[in-house]
Amino acid sequence: MSPREFPWGFLLSPEGDSCLCYSSTSSMSMTSAAALSPPARSWTVLTAACSTPHNQGLQQLLADETHWLQRQQWAFQNLEAIVFHTPAQHLLSLRGLSPRWAAYYLDLVGYPPRFDWADQVWAFVGFDTVLDQSGDDNPEKRFCISRRGETFYRNVFSWMGLLVASHHPTFGQTFIAAEERGMGVWGATIHTAHKVHRTCFRLLLDNRPYHDDTHPDDLARWHAYWLAYRRHRREPKKHPHPGPWRPTR
């Protein structure tokens, strides 16, 4: 069978328990597909009668994937459009937050907010700490977060913390200070996410954009500093420390 007789070709392993698919409509030929793995060179090309059902199934899977990707894109567009008609639009004044993250946050908190204060939201998603009381010597010993809430929203908060930290020096320095105190990347992320969350909750409550005294030049310089710092933390022997952050006076 020529590899160009069907949009998709199939190779069967000598044992008959594996099937390797290759695209004959691209530059990848049957020979190239077999060269992907040395054992695949002894595989057998399936006949047309065997390949046709596989080909039809793949075409249906590709059509389904395209359909659901289009539906997902449509859902994201409608989700993000809601932000610009609610106070969640003020969350976009935090550098690093996109309309999608603002929409996720609005979906959780609601407007008017379904919570009285920010710590209720923090505990609702499972970021509250588990405490152990053991008498006078150790009345409250902190362990880990409870993880009693929805994992999706914990991921949303974590990403919001990282994104804002990488674009705004006020929050980025909070992350760096926490990491250098020994909290690690995950601990510093939660620590920064808590600060971002409290800020976002206040912006929704007050229906106002975020504003601080950060110099515009610092906003432009921070992301490059952040990347240099992350490279140093990842490979300290290869990349030097960028030095202490020096804000514009």
What are the residue ranges spanned by the domains of the chain? Answer: 8-78, 86-234
SS3 content of the chain, % helix, strand, coil (to 5): 60, 10, 35
CA trace torsion 17, 18, 19, 22 (10° rounding): -170
pLDDT tens, residue by residue, 88-127? 999 999 999 999 999 999 999 988 888 999 999 999 999 9
Instruction: Give the global pTM.
Output: 0.71
Q: How far is CA 105 from CA 198, 203, 204, 227, in A?
A: 12, 12, 10, 26
pLDDT tens, residue by residue, 2-14? 333 444 455 555 5
- Tell me what pLDDT residue 120 has: 93
**Residue among 49, 46, 9 nearest 25 (CA):** 9
Query: How many whole angstroms separate alpha carbon 27 and alpha carbon 32?
Result: 9
Query: Strand 8-12 vs strand 141-145: parallel, antiparallel, or unpaired?
Result: unpaired
pLDDT tens, residue by residue, 65-95? 888 888 888 888 888 888 898 999 999 999 9
